Structure formats: structure tokens, C-alpha cells
Amino acid sequence: MSGYEQRVAYLRETIKEISPEDALRMVEEQKALLIDVRDGDEIKQGMPEPAQHLSRSFLEMRIHDVCSEKERPIAILCAGGLRSLFAAESLKNLGYANVYSVMGGYKRWKEASLRSKIPAQLNERDKERYARHLLIPEVGESGQLKLIQSKVLLLGAGGLGSPVAMYLAAAGVGTIGIVDADIVESSNLQRQILHGEDTLGMLKVESAAGAIRRLNSAVKVQPHPVYLDESNVLDILSEYDLVVDGTDNFKTRYLINDACVKLGIPNVHGAVYRFEGYVTTFTTSSSAPCYRCIYPEPPPAEMAPSCAEAGVLGILPGVIGLLQAVEAIKVLLGIGSNLAGKILKYDALHHDFSVLEVEKEEQCLCAKHPDEIEIMPIEPQVCAV
């Protein structure tokens, strides 16, 4: 017996093998995780419907992103049942306690007529365009596909919305909605880089759509040239996976917050004032605070001047908007740690970053059941930085 054969025999003694039928039963009854470790080219013709694809070459690097619970049952499937033995051993060495290898792999899965699917895959154009993303284990092809299938709503096509729109489009977010009823004015061009002198007088959503399409024609742009109010906010926001708030009006921020909490949509919030900027993320986690946890009620108008009244350093919205774009990508992909429960503050004048911790308020609106949340009227106006 060769060394390889001895190794396989040893693994068969130490790794528990299960049938495809047993693997499917574990997924349905025990919430087990089924991982297909075949390469990308191998899954083009199909993969188990309940499986997550995590190629063997990235298994050790990315398994924690897929499953952080060391006691959760994991069934590993490959083409014929050999690579899954080696993969299962690697996971056991990483501390995963209940790891199984699926006998016969996908070949036997198909022979048993179990549920399969043809996974979505990037075309050659996308593979070339997003090549640098594909090299990152936390993104890869599955992450890029997730971005392409995502829908993000930008509230405001102004100073914050401009960099967010450009970088989400560049990253390949498939659908970008933009809410803004204003037209492009000369005073906008100091910071709102979506627009130019050739679009003065044009609706901002039309100007923004043109800029996005010039950058990435594959992105679907959905313009909403309206002011948000209690009559339309739920209908508009419900079409999207994530909201990026770039508005400069406190009452509108409350409206956005309340709608996101009611609908269960993450909200990446940004704000700027002269030389200072703030970024935070309001997630759908039951333990995460919302905007009202920080500011229970709107401040008096004289205490909350807009950028048109107080001024803003033109470059500052670019910094804050880029940080919002980073947060949005992480939330969409479910990677890393985000700013839930934290406010990132940037002081451009003194080049200082600081993080403030925020706690969830027990009596806040976000502690209610969604059906109990009422969307209250606001003044029908939005200033988008």
C-alpha cells in the first residue's frame, strides 16, 4: 500500500463518512452546514441546493466567515468523496468538533436524485473587471456575485451620496437607487462630484445616473426624484437590501431610521459639519442601537444648521462618503466588523479619528415589534449635504 493509500485509509478510520441522504437530513433537521469544496469550474454543472461553495484552496482561510460555531455539524462534499476527507481533517484540526465527509461526493448526490442547483457565476467580462476583488478571500467570486445581486438605496445625490454612488458602482453593486428631488446648482460642485458644469439645472438623479453609467454600464440605476415623506418612504425603501443615508435634515433622518427599523433594513448613516464628519451603521440586530437611541428627539432648528447655513469643507464629504461605502460593502458581504453600536468621528482640521460607543435604549422605538412602529409625518424637504 502506497503512502497516499495509507493516508486515505487512516482518514476513513478517523473521519466519519455519511451518505448524501444523511447529509441532507442533517441540514434540514439539525441545521448542519453543507460545504461544497470543489473548484469553481467543477460546480458549473450543478451543486447541492442547500450547500455553500467554499473551494478547498480557501477553506481554512474562510471557514470562520461561514461558520464561527465550533460545535455546529458540518458536512463536507467534493466530487467523489476523497478531497472531502482531507478537508474534514483540516476543519477538525481547527477545532470544529462535528465534521463529516459525504461519501461519493456530488456524483453520488446526483445519482440519488437529491436537490441540485446551477449556481450563478461571473461572466468573463466581470472576471476581468473585478479581478482584484476575486483575489481577496473575503470577497471572491461568491462575494462579487452577491454584490451584483444587491440593491442599495442612496438617500441624497449630494456630497455624501456622490462618493458612495461612484464606489458602489465601481465595486459592482448591481442596482443603485437614488432619492433626490433637487436640481444641480453651481454651489453643489464644490463637493458633489457626481455632477459637473454640463449638468447644471438637471435633476440630480438624472445627472447621477449618467455618471454611474459612464463608470459601469452594467449597474441598474433607479432614480427617485421625490422628497421622502410618510406616504412614500416604506414603498421606496422596501425595494432595497440596504440604505445609505446622506441627508442633511434631522427630521428626514428620523423618517429614514423609523422606516428602516420597521422594514428590517440596515442603514449606513453619515453626517458632516464644517470640518467634522460622522459615520455609523444601524444594523438589523436586536442588540444594536438605532438613530433614536442616540438622538431620541430632533434638536431645535437653530441648534442643527444645514450645510447651506453652516458650511462644509468640500473634501470632507468625500472622506465620510468613502467610509460609508466601505461599511455598505462589508454589510452586504457579511464580512469583518461594522460600526453597529459605534460612531466613527473624523476631525479634518486636526486630522483625528475617534470612536464613540453607543448603547441600545430599552425604551426606544427599535425595541418595539415592527407592527407597532408608526411612520410619523415630517416636513417635506430634504437637503442632501
Q: Indicate whether 179 and 92 sit together in one domain.
A: no
Distance set, CA 303 to CA 82, 190, 246, 250 (Å) = 67, 25, 19, 11
Cell of 297: 428627539
Cell of 81: 468523496
Q: pLDDT band at 381, cuts 50/70/90?
A: very low
Q: Are 356 and 347 in contact (CB under 8 A)?
A: no
Query: 145 lies in a domain?
Result: no
Poorest-confidence range of 268-272, 291-295, 300-304? 300-304
Q: What is the mean pLDDT of the chain?
A: 93
Residue predicted with more confidence, 136 or 178: 178
For the cut 80, the answer to whether the pLDDT of residue 217 exceeds it is yes
Residue predicted with more confidence, 55 or 237: 237
Query: 239 lies in a domain?
Result: yes
Q: Residue 274 gets which letter from DSSP?
A: B
Distance set, CA 146 to CA 164, 172, 175, 285 (Å) = 18, 9, 11, 20
Residue 158: how many CB atoms within 10 A of its CB? Answer: 28
* CA–centroid distance for 313 within its chain: 29
Q: Indicate whether 65 and 185 sit together in one domain.
A: no
Query: 383 lies in a domain?
Result: no
Which tens digit of pLDDT belongs to each residue from 116-141?
999 888 999 999 999 999 999 889 88
Q: Where among 117, 134, 166 does a domain terminate?
A: 117
Q: pLDDT band at 378, cuts 50/70/90?
A: low
- The boundaries of the domain holding residue 25 are 3-117
- Domain count within the chain: 2
CATH classification of the domain holding 49: 3.40.250.10
Distance (Å, whole) CA 328 – CA 172: 12
Query: 127 lies in a domain?
Result: no
Q: According to DSSP H, which parts of the chain are helical?
A: 3-14, 20-30, 59-66, 83-93, 105-111, 124-129, 131-134, 140-148, 161-171, 204-215, 233-237, 250-263, 291-294, 307-310, 316-333
Q: Are 88 and 56 in contact (CB under 8 A)?
A: no
Q: Indicate whether 289 and 341 sit together in one domain.
A: yes
Burial state string for 202-239 with b = 16 or more CB within 10 A and e = fewer than 16: ebbbbbbbbbbeeebeebebbbbebbbbeeebeebbee
pLDDT score at 380: 46
Query: Which one, of 173, 329, 153, lies nearest residue 245 by Cα?
Result: 153
Q: Are 100 and 17 in contact (CB under 8 A)?
A: yes
Q: Indicate whether 49 and 190 sit together in one domain.
A: no
Cell of 264: 428590517
Distance (Å, whole) CA 328 – CA 200: 29
Q: Where among 101, 117, 133 does a domain terminate?
A: 117
Distance (Å, whole) CA 112 – CA 108: 6
For the cut 70, the answer to whether the pLDDT of residue 221 exceeds it is yes
pLDDT score at 251: 85
Q: Indicate whether 243 and 294 sit together in one domain.
A: yes
For the cut 50, the answer to whether the pLDDT of residue 382 exceeds it is no
Query: 133 lies in a domain?
Result: no
Residue 109: how many CB atoms within 10 A of its CB? Answer: 27
